[in-house]
Structure 1
Amino acid sequence: MAKTQRLFELMMTINAKQKFTARELAQEFGVSYRTILRDLDELSALGVPLYSEVGANGGYYLLHDRMLPPIFFKESEAVAMFLAYHSLQFFGALPFQAETDMALKKFYQHLPEDIQKRIDRMKERVVFWNPSRVQSSDYLNVILETAIEQGATLIHYDGSEGISERTIQPIGLYSYNGFWYCPAYCLKRESFRLFRADRIQFAKRVSSEKKRDLPYRSIRDWIKWSERDVINPVLFKVDLTLEGVRRAKSDLDLRRMIRIRDDGTGWINTQIPKTEITYFADLLWGFGTDATIKEPSEAILHIRRKISAMARLYR
């Protein structure tokens, strides 16, 4: 077996074993003990995180993450990878952001100079704009890992009533309008809740006897359910001018609700959660006279209070 091939297969074997001795590897690969020691030194120099211990129970260990085999990319595939990561540049936080930055840095350094220049030019010509938020989300990794393993997480959550301790079963994470959200089953409330990730002050994985089997196979399942089934529904009716329709089409929360008349004006007649009355009223406040809320009465009262407060400022 050629040395290059042996080193490649040796790295794969180490990944699978995690713990091993040089003599075991020498026997498995049919080479001398000294040859394996030289091979292990070469892998270590290439960045494979090996650790050795002496003694009766000694041997080699693979530290931290496993090393993956090299992958060959076409030029267009390499550019596509950087384009995909470039689309996330305006997010204030990402799961595994430090690891992603390091992986892309390693990848970039090993690209031919002409492809590096092409990637640099591309980044100056395309932007995936997303509202930039100053809030940090420090526990995205913990939440995502727990969701993947269908486990439980202890969190300290800064909610409307102050910071409280909760044990939750995260369904997953999704990003919307610059914020990260975590739908989860709350063992304290014994119901599903939606948590904003930047309001999670602390998180750690825990075991819990109260953990239950969640009915959602994926975060998309939950999103579909949340859009279909409204908790504590109230009737939401709005009349829209031609300009109101145009503006509502540009809003992710409103565009799926709009109904359009033949003359281009429109209306909204749907159910929304009672807890979101103020949110939708504030959303339409920015429309001025291009949106008129008909129901619910709580939304109309909220708008009247805002008008009165604004009028007092400009007496």
Structure 2
Amino acid sequence: MSADRLLSMLLLLQTRGRMSARRLADELGVSVRTAYRDLDRLQAAGVPLYAEHGRAGGYQLLDGYRTRLTGLSEGEARVLFLAGLPAPAADLGLAAEVTAARVKLLAALPVALREEATRTDAVFHLDAPGWYREVEVTPHLPLLVDSLFGRRAVDVRYRRWREPQEVNRRLRPYGLVLKSGTWYLVAAAQGRTATYRVTQVLDAVLSDERFDRPEGFVLSEYWSSYLDDFHARRYTGTATIRLSPRGHERLAANVPPEVVRSFDSTATAVDGDDWIEAVIPIESVEHACGELLRLGVDVEVVAPLELRQMMADTVRVLARAYGLG
């Protein structure tokens, strides 16, 4: 019998609710017979566990039963998953809770595990923002966190890229996402779910309106779908380019990963040469020109003609600027 497995089974039932013995066995990597035996042991140990029979049946903890980490406050419990992310937690206004939760968790661990946790903390560090970028200031982020946890709508003044640039919105937040050092709010407004960059929130005030997230909404699934749609809208055309071996090596350092993947998946050798020709997605002719010029003499644009001409015109202007034209 594994005490760790019994604890895992108890936590599964606590977090997921009713589960069949088959599902528990699959989650824990044991046989169904072992799962039934462990369930009997939990009941014998005094855990208020009962079974419901039928197609939708399973095992369930008595309503209200919870295992608790003694001493953790509600705010500290919220930030357990942020315990290794001190900078994002500070952005959210939860730095003090993270510190307190870490201290209590370490104190609750056996000495050997406490030493291992301390060693792990000493050798891992998350620095979310990308290189060459200023850390974004997000003064309204803690209020948005309050809105999320309290399920209260928030009235914001938001700056967007199209006219009118400043708009007023009542948002019903569903979640926050940290992407490459930038915070995004996923919220419902005007009958649809949308994504808002938190740095573009100019003012925010909690409202008295209460709301519930839609049943079945999963933040990670929404974000994945949003990214797919973003990339589909981002690229409006394609270009055929040729790269020297050195240009191919440098490509990943100068263009987004999806451009590299497209190049590699369509690459063909150029006859009589060691260059490679492939098709890549582009946002616009102007944007592609700027990106591809970073590769210098290691890239040649084959098509479209408009991009090829813009590359040539830019090179001629540069040559004249340096007294070579």
Deviation at 1:256, TM superposition (A): 4.9
Which residue number in structure 2 is paired with residue 126 of structure 1?
A: 124
Task: Go from structure 1 to structure 2 and tell me whether the alpha carbon gap of 1:123 and 1:140 turns closer, same or farther (over 3 Å shift).
Answer: same
Question: Counterparts of 1:47-196 in structure 2 under 5 Å?
Answer: 69-70=68-69, 85-86=83-84, 88-89=85-86, 91=88, 94-95=91-92, 97-98=94-95, 99-109=97-107, 111=109, 115-131=113-129, 133-144=134-145, 146=147, 152-160=153-161, 163-187=166-190, 193-196=194-197
CA contact (8 A) 1:153 1:167 kept: yes
CA contact (8 A) 2:106 2:114 kept: yes
Which residue number in structure 2 is paired with residue 267 of structure 1?
A: 278
**2: CA distance, partners of 1:71 / 1:268:** 59
**2: CA distance, partners of 1:177 / 1:285:** 25
Instruction: Give a deviation string over 1:151-201, Cα, whole Å, max 9, x none.
Output: 6321233444765433234443222222112244443xx766532222323
**2: CA distance, partners of 1:249 / 1:154:** 42
Q: Secondary structure at the match of 1:205?
A: strand
**2: CA distance, partners of 1:265 / 1:130:** 35
For 2:217, the aligned partner's letter is R
Which residue number in structure 1 is paired with residue 219 of structure 2?
A: 219
CA contact (8 A) 1:184 1:192 kept: yes
For 1:217, the aligned partner's letter is F
RMSD: 5.2
**2: CA distance, partners of 1:207 / 1:234:** 43
- Report the TM-score, using the length of structure 1 for normalisation: 0.50
- Report the TM-score, using the length of structure 2 for normalisation: 0.49
For 2:185, the aligned partner's letter is C
CA contact (8 A) 2:177 2:185 kept: yes
For 1:237, the aligned partner's letter is A
For 2:218, the aligned partner's letter is S
**2: CA distance, partners of 1:270 / 1:295:** 12
Please list every run of 5 or more consecutive structure 1 residues that lacks an aligned counterpart in the other structure. 1-66, 73-80
Instruction: Give a deviation string over 1:229-270, Cα, whole Å, max 9, x none.
Output: 444862133536345555555644545544432559463444
**2: CA distance, partners of 1:216 / 1:278:** 42
Task: Go from structure 1 to structure 2 and tell me whether the alpha carbon gap of 1:149 and 1:245 turns closer, same or farther (over 3 Å shift).
Answer: farther
For 1:205, the aligned partner's letter is L
Task: Go from structure 1 to structure 2 and tell me whether the alpha carbon gap of 1:117 and 1:148 turns closer, same or farther (over 3 Å shift).
Answer: closer
**2: CA distance, partners of 1:111 / 1:165:** 49
Task: Go from structure 1 to structure 2 and tell me whether the alpha carbon gap of 1:71 and 1:228 turns closer, same or farther (over 3 Å shift).
Answer: same
CA contact (8 A) 1:168 1:184 kept: yes
**1: CA distance, partners of 2:137 / 2:296:** 33
For 1:220, the aligned partner's letter is S
Deviation at 1:137, TM superposition (A): 2.4
Please list every run of 5 or more consecutive structure 2 residues that lacks an aligned counterpart in the other structure. 1-65, 72-79, 270-274
Which residue number in structure 2 is paired with residue 54 of structure 1?
A: none
